[in-house]
Amino acid sequence: MRKFADISFAVEEVVVEGQPLLRIHVTSVSLRDWCLCLQLLQDNLVEAFTFRRANSSKKVQVARGTVNRSGITGDGDHRALTLSARDLDFARYFFLRYYRDGAAEVDHIDIETGEGGYVVFAVDESLPPVSSEEAKRRLGMTKRKRGRS
């Protein structure tokens, strides 16, 4: 079964340093429907879902792939994004946490495709970035200072 989501997304196709990039901006207004579609896809309740581009007749189909790499195919008015099981789970988890918290941890996530390009999912609300020192602290990469006795 295929699902058509009548959700308008900002989709941009560009080439950066020879690498194709498909940028999909998921707005906070469409977040709930986007999360539902990703979950239906994850649970194999739909084989794919399709959404339309903002102010356009162009469509993007999202499907769960059977290979280890995600990919982008098609041209013109129709693009097909196939997400590997790992990448689908990564995207679903990111967006569900964004939905739960009201803000994403970062303003976008990147998924590398088998063709050497990227799919970028960008969001409206995200937490402010942290310094490299804070990131290292959170990841446990800093050495603890020994206290004086």
70 DSSP assignment? B
Tell which CATH classification among 3.40.1190.20, 1.10.1740.110, 3.40.50.720, 3.30.1360.230 matches the domain 2-138: 3.30.1360.230
- Measured CA to CA, the distance from residue 125 to residue 60 in angstroms comes to 23
- Tell me, what's the pLDDT at 58? 81
pLDDT tens track for 23-75: 999 988 889 999 999 999 999 999 999 887 667 778 889 999 888 899 988 87
| Long-range contacts formed by 30-34: CB under 8 A, 24+ apart | 31/95, 31/98, 31/99, 31/123, 32/99, 33/5, 33/7, 34/5, 34/7, 34/95
136 membership: H or E segment, kind and range: helix 132-138
This prediction has a pTM of 0.81
The answer to whether 4 touches 47, Cβ cutoff 8 Å, is no
- The domain segmentation of the chain, as residue ranges, is 2-138
| Residue at token pair 């990841």 | 139
